[in-house]
Amino acid sequence: MAEPTTDTPLIAARGISKSFAGVEVLRDVDLDLQRGEIHALLGENGAGKSTFAKILAGVHRPTRGTVALNGEVVDINSPITAQKLGVTLIHQEPISFPDLTVAENLVLGRTVGAPLARVHWAQMTREARQLMDLLGVRIDVTRPMRGLSIADQQMVEIARALASDSRLIIMDEPTAPLTPKEVDTLFGIARRLRGEGRTIVFISHRLEEVRSLCDRVTIFRDGNRVATDTIANLSDGDIIRLMIGRPLREYMKKHGTTIGEVALKIEHLSKPGLFTDISFDVRKGEIVGLGGLIGAGRTDVARAIFGVAPASSGTITVNGKAVVVTSPSQAIDLGLAFVPEDRAIAGIFRTLPVEQNISAAVPRRIAPGGIIRRKVEKALAAESVRRLRIRLASMRQPIGELSGGNQQKSILARWLLTDPSVLILDEPTRGIDIGVKAEFYDMIGELAASGRAILLISSELPELLALCDRVLVMSEGRLTANIARADASQESIMQAAVPRSTVAA
Amino acid sequence: MLKRTLLAGMAALGLAVAFSSGALAAHDFKIVYIGKNTGNPYFDSITGGFKDACAKIGCQFEFVAPATAEATSQIPLIDAQVQKGVNVIAIAPNSPDAMNQALDAARAKGILVLAVNGDLVGNESHRDANILPVDFTKTGPNQVELMGSMIGYKGDIAILSATTEAPDQNTWIAAMKDTLAKDPKYKDMKLVATVYGDDQPEKSTTEMEGLLSNYPNLVGVIAPTTVGVAAAAQVVQQRGIADKVHVTGLGLPSEMKDFIKDGTVKAFQLWSPYNEGWLAAYFADGVLNKTIDNKVGTKFDVPTLGTITIGDKNVMNTQAELTTFDASNIDNFNF
Amino acid sequence: MNAVKSILLRREIGIFAAIVVFCAIVGIANPRFLTTDNFRVILLLMPLVMVAAMGEMLVIIARHVDLSVGSTLGFSAMMTALMFKLAPGIPWYLGFGVAIGIGAVLGLINGAMIIAFRLPAIIVTLGTLYLYRGLTFIASDARQIDRQFIPGPLKAMSANSPTYALPWIVIIAVAVVLITYWFANHSRLGRQVYAIGSNPAAAPLRGIPVTAVTLAVFSISGALAGLAGIMYASRWAFVNPSNTGWGFEFQVIAAVVIGGVSINGGVGSVLGVVLGVLLLSCVSAALPLLGIAGTVQSAIYGLVIIIALVIDQTVRERGILALASARSARP
Amino acid sequence: MTTEPIAPTANALDAAPARPLWQVIFIRPVMLTVLLLILEPIVASVFWPQSLDLQYILSTFTLTAPLALMALVLTLVIIAGEIDLSPASSMALTACVFAAVQQAGVPFPLAVLICVVLGLVLGLFNAFLVVFLRLPSLIATIGTLTFYRGLAQVLAGDNSIKLPEWYMGLNLVTILGIPVPDLIVLVAAILLALLLGATIFGRQVFQIGTNEIAARHAGIRTRSIKTTLFATLGVVSALAGMMFVSQLGTVRYDLGLGGELQMVLMAMLGGTYIFGGRGSILGTFLAGWLLSIMTNAMNTASWLPATQFCLLGVLLIVSIIITNFIYSRTQR
């Protein structure tokens, strides 16, 4: 390849567009990445930054547009090619091979070596140890990955990226599960790599991190690149405005609601390895937020309450009567509803008609005596579609053909049909576009206003701050804070979210 | 009640077809032989007999067989042949009874049904006649005598048979036991075990190995089944104990040649499967043309075989004796 | 320290214990079971299953399964035998090349269809189980190839006459085991097989050439089945279109699963599979000595497969819990 | 089928346009079977006209009927995202027991009861392995496939067990000229089609097969439904066995040996999606007839049975490929 001159950027992306299932998630993104810079990608969930990163790493291929490396247009058609070109991606959720040792996970997939080349265990282990020492992590590299904490898996992930001497390292929210100490080490290394003239793309939600580490920021919104500038030139206000288009509060108006008696009461709920001694309550008409870092155990608590994965000890009280929930069907009968975090996995029946997706949780209403009454079902579904303004071409088209936002609306519709008294929403606005988000916030408000108790799990601090009457915070499986709306702030929540064990350290 | 409707139906059909079959041109009839399963070398030579006979007689012959010897596997083939309107179905039954209904249906259509090599033991009423290679009552004694001659009428012997069910094998084994018990000539020969190799080479081999370890003083093994005798011979050959343990039984020359040549097996016996086919074809021709009255006691002549007598239960055999194969004559046979 | 390894180790010790206990019981019932004589019998029962099981092990570790090994064995054996019959002059050792080659091709076809159309291996190989069997019939015109067409030296390879310390086919099996051990534990490709089975979704993101590895694994499985095919010709000195390799896949899968190879992929060791094969061979060698009819054999195989599956599941679940609770050291 | 849009017609970002009606109707895997069902007679009429006699077709289908009966229920199991390879074996086992106990003098009604209960037990054991121990059903039922037939062999050895004379010949009883076994399959098909299409149970079977986790979250009792399906298949295998032995008048452990392939084949040919969530009873029903008719043709043509093996194997793979292809195209 031509000898790169210093002024040609390492990466020059031009007109990158990407659509999934006919839904466009990236639109004509142009972006230059210079050698030896740490470049932050900011934006709300679903703004397209992760998709862009994955395109650079060869995980996705762009629908349109080109990527030039050192001024040469390259086709990054697979992760293998990406590695050959010196591009490494640290995934948001660390991926690993649970049955293989940590050391193996570090070297696996290195593109060097013939298929029958010998694996030098001793040498491999030695190198692995060195890397771990470098990162200041104490992990026995000869143990299998299975059972490592998310944080440790993330560190292995980072170590892997360092081991492969890549020219471009993309870190997709690497710090989410890390302790401040680990974050410092990571940043130290990142700076050193920059010193070596390597380029780092850093994706994060935490502005302070971005400020302390990055040289330049690019902000995505709604699949578009809305701004690229040196960090110094942008105030936090600017950044947030750029991220969400308009200042948050505007449309997140809180409906004045009267808060009634306790609808859901949790006492000393525990499940070994996931969460311990969780106690809180949610009142009628109240929106209680549940914040924390990824892997803090928030979703596990929700799953336990709803009976998907029942807790091993502790009591649950619904509308005043103590219950033992062992299955979702039972939870539904008790008047609970749960909109799960991952729509595709736990929510929709992708290939089935929208109407069947909406009516899924109310068999008795659509099929008294076991025989399905098509008219009743149609009516219910049509009503929901109208009420939640679900936009579709036909009630009978597979829900998979709908946009993320409308899929999520359909799931919400499913639960509203059960007329729940307690509604648990797990990251309800993840990966849906900004306009629909606004609608969701309004709906959640209305639901509370109609006297339902709502438990809102969210990683988006602004969301929690704007919507919730109270914010609970979990960290490493424990409840670490219960903050009233008045005292809730991004800082107070983060403070509680960061693992205790390490604050001392 | 059910049965009655069935019978009535068959009677009607029977009449109808009786005429047509009566009206068919002298020797130009279709005969099909349904073997136990494909890939079974034994049937190649029976088929040979059918072919040659039909060539002489002028009838058309076809051989079909299912892929596996599973009990019901021959039924669709029978149905299909009936549907094609063959005149004679000769079959080596995979089960003594599973085919009854299909065969009845065939006979109701005026088709002549012959069991060739192996009979529908206990269900003789479902076929017109049974053609066997030899007089099976003699097989047992002949085998014992051959064994005796090899081991000097002295020592422990065992039997390695096919499946526990196989009707012919069982008649022979019974006869062997009987002979050993009654005839003083064999008083020093002791039958210590009878095992079954399911006509699977692997199983037969492990059973043979089992015999050898269980009965150290074993001097002879009779395997009245082609698969078994080959397996037994191979074990003896590989252990190099041919001088100590003598193997004989009913085998195919093509499979046993090597063992005879290297002395692993001194001699074994078999009838001529070829003649079975030959006889069956001529018998069928005779019956269809009313020259043979298919009744017990009827005598008729068949080229090269001489006079054949229809015995009890319409069973007949080629009137030949078992052939004994040894180094002197093995090369003259190619089946 | 290394929990998964130790679990597996415990697992292998378990199988070994099972073998010892079994042999002891049978030995008491019939002392002749413990003679060197009978040891040879067991030894000669193992090679074919052993060789094929090594291939099946890799396939299952990669979170697939190959039901067509029996038919692959049959087809390659038949083609080799046909070659010997039609071209008697041909050097006998060429048979190995032919059998292995044909096997590899059949395996490759399995892999190709699984990859190309993203089909579950079990259905594809269920189809080819019948397809390859059918081709065997057609190729041989449904005729058995008799022993006089099998070259003498080839037959001699499985002769266990006292003049041989160990029959050749046993030595071949041992060699295959050793090579497989090296391949699975010390070759790059081998480790990639484990990786794919351990987390198929992550494999491509890690730059593991999933397609190539999968094709390789199925080709190896096929090739080894082919090798087992010519070993069959050597052992039984005939090849029959319907008998040869019929139902063989159940023995092989049984051996592998008993050996502690996880059907959920990623876990499994050569040692375990070797013990699995040994256990099965002891069982089938014991039956005649105990005067038990051969008809119980398939029932025993089926039962053993189920038990092994259940153990595998429970052991793994307990193992994961143990690991999950054993959190790694943090500063 | 398609209702007029309720919401203002969606733009690209909200939802892809619905598929045109003709596609919904015609572009579906079962069409492969229909096509073959139309083609076969045409081809046969040229080469093997004898195979086209209606009486012959009806009477030979009685041999396929037991497998077809089980295949119909198997279809539900596959739609629910599982599979069961053991029914043919449990049919053999239950049938052997059925005959054995009657020979031992057990009165007929009791024998039927024993047989059905045994079938239920065998089905529940599969459910235990798959639903509660969470073993992959493909492998688990390969185990029970071997085990159940093995038990039959232990019970009956190589001997065939006779049934009472009067019990024989169900296939010779005809209603409107159609043999009873064929009618049984027809009726079963209609009932199951209704169950699958018109009841909430059928709906939930589809939902489980499409996305089990989502189904569980939606309060659908996935485990009990799957257990029901396996149990039903067990019972039906017992019934199929009783039907089959009435035609044979005798039973041996190898009854329906290798039938699992044909059953899976019927389901696949009928357009049931191997990964669950899609499929139809009609498809399996038609595929059953198609197989029977094709086998007839090949038998009357005296084709080497091996060629039939090849055809079955190829058909299986081809039908899956086509099914997968169509579904991957019609679902976005």
- D218:A366 CB<8 A: no
Q: What is the pLDDT of residue C331?
A: 30
pLDDT for res B299: 92
What crossing angle do the helices spanning A121-135 and A180-195 adopt, rounded to 10°?
Answer: 110
Residue from C144, C235, C297, C298 whose CB has the most chain B CBs within 10 Å, to mutate: C144
Residues of chain D contacting residue A394, judged by C-beta atoms under 8 Å apart: 2-3, 5, 18
Cβ contacts of C294 on chain D, cutoff 8 Å: none
Q: Which residue in chain C is spatially nearest to B43 when comparing CA positions?
A: C143
Find the DSSP H helices in C118-244.
121-139, 152-156, 168-186, 188-198, 202-205, 210-236
- The residues in D 2-31 lying below 8 A from A, measured between CB atoms, are 2-3, 5-10, 12-19
- What pLDDT does B233 receive? 94
Q: Give the pLDDT band of residue A466 (cuts 50, 70, 90).
A: confident
Q: Which residues pair with A298 in a beta bridge?
A: none
Report the gap between the CA of C284 and the closest CA in chain B (Å).
8
Report the percentage of chain B scoring pLDDT > 90. 54
Q: Which of A82-96, B20-34, D179-193, D219-233 has the least mean pLDDT?
A: B20-34
Neighbours of chain B (3+ CB pairs under 8 A): C, D
Helix C188-198 crosses helix C210-236 at what angle (to 10 degrees)? 110
Residues of chain A contacting residue C1, judged by C-beta atoms under 8 Å apart = 140, 142-143
Distance set, CA A223 to CA A26, B268, C275 (Å):
4, 87, 57
Whether chains B and A touch (3+ CB pairs under 8 A) is answered by no
Q: Is D18's CB within 8 Å of A393's CB?
A: yes
Q: How far apart are CA B6 and CA C194, in angstroms?
A: 63
Does residue A233 surpass a pLDDT of 80? yes
Give residues 46 to 105 of B whose Cβ lies within 8 Å of C.
65, 67-68
pTM, entire model:
0.85
C284 with B206: Cβ contact below 8 A: yes
State the CATH architecture for A11-245.
3-Layer(aba) Sandwich (3.40)
Contact D159 B164 (CB under 8 A): yes
Instruction: Output the CA–CA distances (angstroms, integers) from residue B59 to B62, B220, B309, D276, in the order listed.
Output: 10, 46, 23, 55
What's the whole-number mean pLDDT along residues A239-246?
72
CB neighbours of B21 closer than 8 A, spacing ≥ 6? B87, B110, B288
Give the model's pLDDT for residue D19.
67
The answer, yes or no, to whether residue B53 has pLDDT greater than 90, is yes
Range ranked top by mean pLDDT from A148-152, B323-327, D308-312: B323-327
Inter-chain CB proximity D160 and B85 less than 8 Å: no
Tell me the average pLDDT across A118-128: 88
Q: How confident is the model over D53-73, as pLDDT tens digits?
A: 888 999 999 999 999 999 999
Name which residue leads in pLDDT, A83 or B30: B30
- The DSSP-derived string for A55-100 is HHTTSS--SEEEEEETTEEE---SHHHHHHTTEEEE-SS----TTS
The arithmetic mean of pLDDT across residues B318-331, rounded, is 89
Please tell me which of the candidates B37, B234, B258 has its beta carbon nearest to residue C148: B258
Which residues in chain D are closer than 8 Å to B75, comparing Cβ atoms? 63
What pLDDT was estimated at residue B107? Answer: 95
Average pLDDT over residues A50-79: 90
Mean pLDDT on A356-384: 93
CATH topology of domain A250-335+421-504: Rossmann fold (3.40.50)
State the residue for tokens 């066995």.
D241
Alpha-helical regions (H) of D9-131: 21-26, 30-47, 54-79, 87-103, 108-127
pLDDT value, residue B9: 45
Q: What pLDDT is attached to residue D18?
A: 64
In B, minimum Cα distance to D295 occurs at B76
pLDDT at position C322 is: 54
Please say if the pLDDT value at position D87 is more than 90.
yes
**Average pLDDT rounded to a whole number, residues A488-495:** 80
Q: In terms of DSSP bridges, do strands A453-457 and A287-292 run parallel, antiparallel, or are they unpaired? A: parallel
Q: Are A481 and A298 in contact (CB under 8 A)?
A: no
- Please give the average per-residue pLDDT across A416-442, as a whole number: 85
Confidence of residue A244 (pLDDT cuts 50, 70, 90): low
pLDDT confidence band for D331 (50 / 70 / 90): low
Looking at chain B, which residues constitute the CATH 3.40.50.2300 domain(s)?
Answer: 2-127+273-319, 136-270
Count structural domains, chain D.
1
At residue D17 the predicted structure's pLDDT band, cuts being 50, 70 and 90, is low
Long-range contacts of A70-73 (CB under 8 A, 24+ apart): A70/A1, A70/A2, A70/A4, A70/A8, A70/A10, A71/A2, A71/A4, A71/A8, A71/A12, A72/A1, A72/A2
pLDDT at D7 over 90: no
Q: Is a pLDDT exceeding 60 seen at residue B304? A: yes
Fold of B2-127+273-319: Rossmann fold (3.40.50)
- Residues in chain B whose Cβ is within 8 Å of chain D: 2-3, 5-6, 9, 38, 62, 64-68, 70-72, 75-77, 79-80, 83-85, 95-98, 100-101, 163-166, 198
How far apart CA D244 and CA D251 sit, in angstroms, is: 9
State the pLDDT confidence band at B151, using cuts at 50, 70 and 90: very high
Output the CA angle B213-B217-B223, nearest 5 degrees. Answer: 70
Name the residue in chain B with its Cα closest to that of D52.
B83
A14 touches A191 (CB < 8 A)? no
Q: Decide which of A242 and D200 is more confident.
A: D200
Is D252 an 8 Å CB contact of chain B? yes
Q: Does B42 touch chain C (CB under 8 A)?
A: no
pLDDT band at A360 (very low <50, low <70, confident <90, very high): very high
Listed in sequence order, the residues at least 6 apart from A415 whose beta carbon sits closer than 8 Å to its beta carbon are A337, A338, A339, A361, A423
pLDDT-wise least confident of B83-87, B125-129, C159-163, D214-218: C159-163
CATH of C3-325, one of 1.10.10.10, 3.20.20.70, 1.10.3470.10, 2.130.10.10: 1.10.3470.10
* pLDDT value, residue B21: 43
> What ranges do the domains of chain C cover?
3-325
Residue B22 has pLDDT above 70, yes or no: no
**Mean pLDDT over residues A16-40, rounded?**
86
Residue B251 has pLDDT above 70, yes or no: yes
CB neighbours of C223 closer than 8 A, spacing ≥ 6?
Answer: C55, C100, C101, C103, C104, C107
Mean pLDDT of C198-209: 88
Interface contact C35-B206, CB threshold 8 A: no
Q: Give the nearest chain D residue to A374 (CA atoms).
A: D198
pLDDT tens digit sequence for A302-344: 999 999 999 999 999 999 999 999 999 999 999 999 999 888 8
pLDDT higher at C239 or B8: C239
Total Cβ atoms within 10 A of residue D311 = 18
Say if residue B75's pLDDT is above 80. yes
CATH 2.40.50.140 fits B136-270, yes or no: no
Residues from D contacting C (CB-CB < 8 Å) are 129, 133-136, 138-140, 142-151, 153-154, 157-158, 253, 261, 264, 268, 274-275, 304-314, 316-317, 320-321, 324-325
- Give CA torsion, residues B272, B276, B281, B283, to 10 deg: 120
H or E stretch covering A271: strand A262-271
What pLDDT is attached to residue A256? 63
Contact criterion met (CB < 8 Å) for C331 and A139: no
* Nearest Cβ partner for D306 among B6, B67, B70: B67
> D142: domain range?
69-257
Q: Return the closest-CA partner of residue D231 out of D66, D118, D135.
A: D118
Res B245 pLDDT > 90: yes
- Cβ atoms of B33 and B284 within 8 Å: the answer is no
pLDDT band at residue A95 using 50, 70 and 90 as cut-offs: confident
**DSSP 3-state of B193:** strand
> If you average pLDDT over every residue of chain A, what do you get?
85
Q: State residue D301 phi and psi, 5-degree precision.
A: -80, 0
- Domains of chain A, by residue range, sit at 11-245, 250-335+421-504, 349-419
R_g over Cα of chain B: 21
pLDDT band at residue D3 under the 50/70/90 scheme = very low
Comparing A160-164, B282-286, D168-172, the range with the smallest average pLDDT is A160-164
In a domain, residue D141? The reply is yes
pLDDT at B18: 41
D196 lies in a domain?
yes
**Which chain D residues are within 8 Å of B165, Cβ to Cβ?**
157-160
